[in-house]
């Protein structure tokens, strides 16, 4: 669902898919990105990663804000891989400037200034989004598109019980899924089917710009890419559904988030519900999306 204004809420720097999602957004003129809000852990470092990438892309018009560092209830430690910012930020980037406005305030302000026109894309833990909804329960967002959760159907018992973005702050996910705002959820079941390989990275680098070089370098140094020769396009798939919804087939689903399970805290328990405001991706056109991602991101 197109909207007049797009905000990206991200935990960029940990998995390289956030960087790739931002790159896809910046290559897609039909998606009017006005702001990027950072969430979870060292949000200053994450915000500086965004600013550096935007500078390389020549986009000084996009607002960057830092938001919530800790989960809503602070019941579990922040997950931090330790490579965040490497091969992108240098010592000269220690003081890269971004907006002093708190990310939660920014989301609320933009939703009020553009009622029912803001499409929020959430590709990290949902703490910022949940805080905005708790402060403003009638927040007039047009739509929320999320990468998160896992259906884990009979054919996908290889998947974990829970998905990272939900596990990091299950209580925040509960708040968002209970909000009644029209939401599209792209789960791990689909995102683990789509990949970028060395050939795709070479296509991005072949653009020749400093921005495309930086994105390619980020992918190549991502530990899972180095181990496997590919990495999953979790977050870019969520972004792509705003450009061409037919990449993914969705169904209306009610979601309960497990908040107190011995093994399954953060699990997304799903059942069909024709009246649910949440639609969940159930299948993906893998080859068409992978080709689209490589060609569009290389622009």
Write the pLDDT tens digit of every residue in 230-286: 999 999 999 999 999 999 999 999 999 999 999 999 999 999 999 999 999 999 999
Per-residue DSSP letter, 41: S
Within 8 A by CB and 6+ apart from 45, the residues are 13, 84, 85, 89
Distant-in-sequence, close-in-space partners of 44: CB < 8 Å, separation ≥ 6: 66
At 4, the pLDDT band (50, 70, 90 cuts) reads: confident
Among 63-72, 128-137, 150-159, where is mean pLDDT lowest? 150-159
Name the 3-class secondary structure at 198: helix
Phi first, then psi: what are they for 243, rounded to 5°? -85, -45
pLDDT at 30 over 70: yes
- pLDDT of 41 > 50? The answer is yes
Looking up tokens 């220690």 gives: 94
Contacts of 155 (CB under 8 A, 6+ apart): none
Give me the torsion for CA of 286, 5, 42, 84, rounded to 10°: 40
CB 297 within 8 A of CB 204: yes
Q: Which two tokens stand for residue 33?
A: 């990105």
How far does Cα 235 stand from its chain's mean position?
5
% pLDDT > 90, the chain: 98
> Encoding tokens for residue 36?
């990027």
Alpha-carbon distances, residue 272 vs 1, 39, 85, 151, 269 (angstroms): 21, 30, 40, 12, 11
Cα four-point dihedral sign 72, 74, 77, 81: positive
pLDDT tens-digit series, residues 91-127: 999 999 999 999 999 999 999 999 999 999 999 999 9
Stretch 141-145: mean pLDDT: 98
Alpha-carbon distance 49 to 201, whole Å? Answer: 19
Tokens 């702001």, residue located: 35
Measured in whole angstroms, how far is the alpha carbon of residue 287 from the centre of its chain? Answer: 21
Per-residue confidence band for 154, with pLDDT thresholds at 50, 70 and 90: confident
User: What is the pLDDT at residue 1?
Assistant: 45
**Going edge to edge, which strands form the sheet with 143-147?**
63-66, 33-38, 5-10, 118-122, 143-147, 183-186, 278-284, 248-257, 268-272
Residue 3: band (very low, low, confident or very high) from pLDDT cuts 50, 70, 90: low
Residues 6+ apart with CB under 8 A from 10: 18, 21, 22, 36, 37, 38, 39, 46, 50, 123, 124, 235
d(CA 95, CA 90): 10
Separation of alpha carbons 161 and 263, rounded Å = 8
CA angle (64 as vertex; 51, 128 as ends), nearest 5: 130
């Amino acid at each position: 669902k197109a909207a007049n204004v797009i905000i990206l809420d991200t935990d960029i720097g940990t998995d390289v898919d956030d960087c790739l999602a931002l790159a896809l957004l910046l290559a897609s003129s039909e998606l009017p990105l006005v702001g990027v809000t950072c969430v979870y852990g060292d949000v200053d470092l994450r915000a500086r990663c965004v600013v550096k990438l935007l500078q390389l892309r020549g986009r000084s018009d996009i607002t960057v804000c830092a938001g919530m560092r800790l989960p809503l209830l602070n019941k579990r430690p922040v997950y931090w891989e330790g490579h965040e910012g490497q091969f992108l930020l240098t010592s000269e980037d220690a003081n890269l400037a971004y907006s002093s406005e708190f990310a939660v305030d920014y989301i609320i302000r933009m939703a009020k200034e553009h009622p029912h026109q803001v499409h929020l894309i959430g590709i990290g833990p949902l703490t910022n989004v949940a805080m905005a909804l708790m402060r403003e329960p009638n927040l007039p967002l047009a739509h929320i598109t999320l990468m998160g959760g896992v259906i884990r159907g009979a054919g996908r018992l290889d998947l974990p019980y829970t998905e990272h973005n939900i596990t990091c702050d299950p209580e925040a996910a509960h708040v968002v899924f209970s909000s009644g705002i029209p939401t599209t959820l792209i789960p791990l079941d689909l995102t683990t089917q789509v990949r970028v390989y060395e050939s795709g990275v070479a296509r991005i680098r072949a653009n020749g710009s400093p921005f495309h070089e930086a994105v390619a370098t980020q992918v190549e140094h991502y530990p899972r890419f180095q181990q496997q020769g590919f990495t999953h396009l979790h977050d870019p798939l969520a972004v792509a559904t705003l450009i061409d919804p037919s990449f993914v087939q969705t169904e209306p689903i009610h979601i309960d988030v497990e908040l107190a399970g011995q093994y399954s805290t953060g699990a997304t328990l799903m059942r069909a519900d024709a009246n649910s405001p949440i639609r969940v991706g159930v299948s993906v056109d893998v080859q068409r999306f992978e080709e689209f991602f490589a060609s569009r991101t290389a622009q």
